[in-house]
Structure 1
Amino acid sequence: MAYQVLIVDDEPVIRFGIRASIPWEQHGMQVIGDCANGSEALELLHNQSLDILITDIKMPVMDGLALTREVIARYPHAKVILVSSYNDFDYVREAMRLGAMDYILKPTLEPEELLEVLHTCIRQLQAERSMHDVIDAYASSTRQLERKKVEQLLKRNLLQKQPIESAASLPSWMETKMWVVCVRLDRVHEGRSEAEVGELERTIVWEDLVETFYDQLDRGYALHISSEELLLLLPAESEDASFMEKLKGDLESVIGYKLTMGMDQADHAGQLNEAVEHSRLACQRRFFEGLGHIYQHEVEAKAVQTTPLSSQGESTQANQPEFDRFKSELMQKVRLNDNEAMQSLLQTWIKTWQALSHTACSHGDEMRIKHEACELLSLQFSNHMESVHLLERFDAMKETETIEDFLDTFLTQVEECHRLLDEKQDRHPSYDSPMERALDYIHEHYQQDIHLQEVADIVHISKNYFSILFKKYTEQNFIDYVIQLRIRKAKELLEHTELKVYEVAEASGFNDVKYFSKLFKKMTSCSPVDYREIHRGR
């Protein structure tokens, strides 16, 4: 960016001469105007930046001394060059005391002399900017270090459920009211299985969310406690929690996913453990009451959004003896291999789960029905299927985010288990196994937009079952395996070709160069450009 220069002199000939005598743009400068006195100059400078002021001392309306005082007060970094007459030395002395950079005598004013003084100003401006950059970088590094220390202290105490006492290392705002917010990602697997999302992608999403949070707020902490949730701590500057809607929207616009939040308020750091539990409970209401809302932990809790919540009432959950009797009845049908009766019994019990969606339910209700579903699946199929297959199906049900998702997933898992049992006799190991054929296909097509369903279709296996087999066979889920192949290809291209980074990304199978760069740095600890420089130098 060019340095901004203003010329002020009551003599038009002097102003014109100064402006015309220097090739400003060639020397990285731009004249923003010329004025006849200090008052005109200040009016022109309204909403303008200024780096160098060239001014006469004696002028009508406002002289150069008054103008110098105002300019240095408004622009502390600005450099002032005085243009004076022989009889102005007393004024020059005063101007230099105020902070003027140098002076030039009008009778001997030459372009070379003025240009030399201007270059001196520029060198000093550059040095000061560099020093400010160093100071800012140091201050930022110090703030980040202090923030990390507090984050580690909070994480350790929260994970160990230890009381967080007042400490010199905690900021003062944590001794007053604060919001404690539990954040969960909604529909991370929308249209994609867990195998197609990958741990790396989730990690990047969380990192973007944390970075955006710190960009938005001067005070607060973002604690990544687990892969499933993020805790936000920020001052409760108002009892009104509506500000959280804006923050939620800002975060969602950056990460590309919807969020559900649960909130509670702590009066001081000593109440954090309790407030964290309350915020988690509030967030878990999403299972029965809907995703994408902000839930506040209150006796008569309501979502911050206008979407009405479920009506309050007593839970219709069945007690344990009733479930035990149901399991006994189901077990009898399993022994008799009466599939029709088993399906009828399951539908009966599903109605008890569906009833919960019309009541004010707790996190315990969610965990209970998921546990019951795992038990029912195990009763029917544990004697006929490998435990690893059942465990994968248990995980699929546990990861559902709403009661509707859970019911659909449960019925799908039951149907899939029956189908797998029917096909069991037709499958036998061979050299040309489905997994070997799948890997061959992946290695041939990973640079294209390849999907889990596509590969499953190639080897004639259902998507869910293929996902289970693939992870068991490779010890990686599908997308992480594909990403590993793409990054390996990108390394080869960076080392052995002159392709630009975006071309390397495209040739390796990545459609988004920004995502590619983040992922590459995550996996190699350096950017694609740095990687190329390092490996070209070998």
Structure 2
Amino acid sequence: MIRTLIVDDEHLVRKGLIYSFPWQQFQMEIVGEADNGETALELLDKHHVDLLLTDLTMPVMSGFELMQRVRSAHPHVFIAVLTCHSDFDYIQEALRLGAIDYVLKTQLEKESVENVLGRISRRIEHDREMHSGKRHGMNASGQGEWGVLLCARNGASHSIEAMPWAHPARTTELGKGSWFVSFADGQGDADIRPLLKQLSREQWLVLLVAGVEAGKNLQLSDDKLREMKRRLFYEWHPEQLYVRMSAKELRADCCGAGYGITEDWIKAWNQLAWMADEAEWSRLAELTLEKRFAAEELIPFMLGSLEGWRHIEAYPELKHQLKQTEFSCWFDLRQWLAELRRIWLLVFHQSGCSREVFTSVLRSVLILREELAFGANQADIAGRVNISRGYFSGVFKDIMGKTFNEFVRDMRISIAQKLLKEHPGKPIYWIAEQTGFQDESYFSRVFRESTGRLPSDYR
């Protein structure tokens, strides 16, 4: 049984957790409750506890201080956080202090209690398996075998050939920037940590899998590889040496839910309310972390939907930020999005318009890029974002630094320049059509006025 101690300063919350959660279903037993950190430490001194489930904001002693004290005095105790705080700094600090899970009270209605307890239980079981394997000296035929998935961070080109432990006989290249290394000599967690410390966390993401069969690294199925990469993408954090999972977890997760982006997420993303509203941003980030969409779908969708902003010349910092297109983990992608928000929030505060109007103008640029080849009617786009044509004309120029027609012309020419380079065999009339010009001669004249050269000369 996993002996569990609950710490929360709200009496009703503690009782609700104790009596409404299906603890027995996951081999968990409540052995105590406390309303503050000091009382929790006293109980830990008197009773054997396996799992500490704690809030963060409490009188007498905060959850963070409690975690520090427990790490020092009771290092065998697993810690999970159950709180209302969704701020990224809180999550980061909790993970740094060793929390194995971070659960938002506000998400318990959306994410089933069974999923939460199952996730925590599997993590504890996994860690116990690893330490048990080390204590009992499991050999290459037992559950003490390991596999390590290595992924180069943010598309960088790195080599593992210089690492003595990455022997060719047990190393399989899985694609650009990723390798799988098997350890078939009974090495345990404590043995592998020094090896993995050779890897820079600025350059590598590491997933450690326990219970890998010797010699099977070449036969990893597509589903298993995809699940390993998904786990690594969402759980990796620069404060961690590696992300861990067991082969048992891997088999279970491969039979789980799909990876495709859901309609509710797409709707929340496309509305752009998250760009200027902190609560909406937190909700979108939480939903992404909860759903864990496949990175190979999520990243191209995000970058593709924001393509129109690459043509905004008024804000060089924004243009520079949008140049990054490689993301190996949710931590890096979220940091990138947060920086994008910071840039736009500065513009928003200087604009003097409402959040709704500001995000509507940002949306108009994205709509414009998507439908550029079909023409760009200012009245139509203003209606699409629910702003009157007259007001839209003025506020668009205030935020984008150009009139709508000037912006459309410059976007068309910019895209035409790119297409001319990327498609040298395509005729000029095709380039004109792709950028919303119905007449090749008119396109050539506008292109020359903007660049000083005809399209054929530019190519």
Asked whether the two chains share a fold, i.e. TM above 0.5, the reply is no
Class of the TM-score when normalised by the shorter of the 2 chains: 0.3 to 0.5
Larger Cα Rg: Structure 1 or Structure 2?
A: 1
Task: Provide TM-score, normalisation by structure 1.
Answer: 0.29
Task: Provide TM-score, normalisation by structure 2.
Answer: 0.33
